[in-house]
Amino acid sequence: MLEVIHSAGNRIDIVLNGKIDANVMKKAFDDLLKESENIEDGVMLYRIEDFQFPSLAAMAHELSRMPTLLKLMKKFKRIAVLSDKKWLKKISELEGKFFRNLEIKAFDFKDIELAENWLQS
């Protein structure tokens, strides 16, 4: 499951839980585009609850829409990633280095309050 929720104002929440196939990826991508349509200086809370590698078809779909995704990322200034997996947190923060004007910071699930405060600061 990959769920996209427009929480309020300039905030999007994403929940990743389990296996992602091409259909799930397409729906999530379409939802993200729709929910982010009017966002400026946005923030995102990305909860990675149960990570499983996406199917090859899902990765191919993501790659095919990469130009749109890169353009979309310009709408956001901060992304807080929640995960209890150390390697996912490291990769998330490394990804942030590739986007100018976008900060990505990873937190443990127990630190959700810190993540929420960081998004709003």
- Reply yes or no on whether the pLDDT at 108 is more than 90: yes
pLDDT tens, 19-56? 999 999 999 999 999 999 999 999 999 999 988 878 89
The total domain count for the chain is 1
Bridge pairing between strands 2-8 and 11-18 = antiparallel
What residues pair up with 82 in beta bridges, in sequence order? 47, 107
Look up the pTM and report it. 0.89
Backbone angles phi, psi at 91, to 5 degrees: -65, -40
CATH number at residue 28: 3.30.750
**Contact of 19 with 58, CB cutoff 8 Å:** no
What is the pLDDT, as a whole number, of residue 114? 98
Q: Which domain holds residue 104?
A: 2-120
What is the pLDDT, as a whole number, of residue 4? 97
What would the mean pLDDT of 85-97 be, rounded to a whole number?
A: 90
Helix/strand/coil for 21: coil
What is the pLDDT, as a whole number, of residue 10? 96
Reading the block at residue 100, the tokens are 């100018």
Bridge pairing between strands 2-8 and 42-51 = unpaired
Alpha-carbon separation of residue 24 from 49, 71, 79 (angstroms): 16, 21, 21
- Reply yes or no on whether the pLDDT at 98 is more than 90: no
Q: How would residue 99 be classed by pLDDT, with cut points 50, 70 and 90?
A: confident
